Amino acid sequence: MKFTGLIFASLVLLPGCDTRNLYVAHDTVLGINAVVNQGRQKGQLVVGYDRDFATVIPKSVDPTSTGEKDAMALVNCTELEIDGIYLNAYSDVMITGDAAVAHVKSGALTPSKFDCEIEEG
Amino acid sequence: MPSKAHGTIAALMLWPVLAACSVNDFGVVEARAFAAGDAKVRTTSAVGLHTDARNDRSSLTLGVFDAAWIVPPACQDTGPRRPPLLYSRMIGLQIAIGRDELRFSLGLHERLLVQMTGEGAGAHRSLSFRPSHPDQTVFTGPDPKICNEKENKK
Please, what is the average pLDDT of chain A? 73
For chain B, what are the domain ranges? 2-152
Residues A36, A37, A40, A45: what is their CA dihedral angle, to the nearest 10 degrees? -20
User: Are A35 and B103 an interchain contact pair (Cβ–Cβ within 8 Å)?
Assistant: yes
pLDDT attached to residue B36: 87
Number of separate domains in chain A: 1
Mean pLDDT of B120-137: 85
pLDDT attached to residue A10: 31
CA end-to-end span of chain A, whole Å? 29
Residues in B touching A85 (Cβ below 8 Å):
108, 110
Within-domain flag for A59: yes
For B112, the closest chain A residue by CA position comes to A26
The sign one gets for the Cα dihedral A100, A102, A103, A107 is: positive
CA distance B31 to B42: 7
Within-domain flag for A30: yes
Within-domain flag for A116: no
CA distance B39 to B74: 9
pLDDT attached to residue A60: 64
Q: For residues B132 and A88, is the Cβ–Cβ distance under 8 A?
A: yes
How many other C-beta atoms can be found within 10 angstroms of the C-beta atom of residue A41?
7
Please, what is the average pLDDT of chain B? 83
Within-domain flag for A94: yes
Residues in A touching B108 (Cβ below 8 Å):
28-31, 85
Contact residues, chain B to chain A, C-beta under 8 Å = 37, 85, 87, 89, 99-132, 138, 140-141
Within-domain flag for A118: no
Residue B125, φ and ψ in degrees, nearest 5: -140, 140
Mean pLDDT of A50-65: 77
Within-domain flag for A95: yes
Mean pLDDT of B24-38: 90
Q: For residues B143 and B73, is the Cβ–Cβ distance under 8 A?
A: yes
Within-domain flag for A113: no
For A65, the closest chain B residue by CA position comes to B121
Which 66-85 residues of chain A touch chain B by CB within 8 A?
A: 72-74, 85
pLDDT higher for B25 or A62? B25
Residues in B touching A31 (Cβ below 8 Å):
105-109
Within-domain flag for A16: yes
Q: For residues A94 and A9, is the Cβ–Cβ distance under 8 A?
A: no
Give the structural domain span for A91: 2-105
Mean pLDDT of B108-128: 81
Q: Which residues on neighbouring strands pair with residue B30, listed in sequence order?
A: B45
Per mean pLDDT, which range of A10-19, A72-81, A98-107 is the poorest?
A: A10-19
User: Are A97 and B100 an interchain contact pair (Cβ–Cβ within 8 Å)?
Assistant: no
Question: Could you give the C-alpha distances from B6 to B1, B15, B19, B60, B107, in angstroms and in order?
Answer: 9, 14, 19, 27, 28
SS (H, E, C) chain A: CEEEEEECCCCCCCCCCCCCEEEEEEEEEEEEEEEEECCCCCEEEEEEEEEEEEEECCCCCCCCCCCCCCCCCEEEEEEEEEECCEEEEEEEEEEEHHHHHHHHHCCCCCCCCCCCCCCCC
What three-state secondary structure class fits B134? helix
Q: For residues B137 and A64, is the Cβ–Cβ distance under 8 A?
A: no
Q: Which residues on neighbouring strands pair with residue B87, listed in sequence order?
A: B68, B112
Residues in A touching B125 (Cβ below 8 Å):
92-96
pLDDT digits (tens, 9 = 90+) for B66-114: 999 998 877 777 777 678 899 999 999 999 998 888 999 999 999 999 9
pLDDT digits (tens, 9 = 90+) for B135-152: 999 988 766 556 665 544
Query: Could you tell me which residues come within 8 angstroms of residue B42 by beta carbon, excluding any fewer than 6 positions away?
Result: B31, B32, B33, B34, B68, B69, B71
Q: What percent of chain A has pLDDT over 90?
A: 27
- How much is the pTM? 0.78
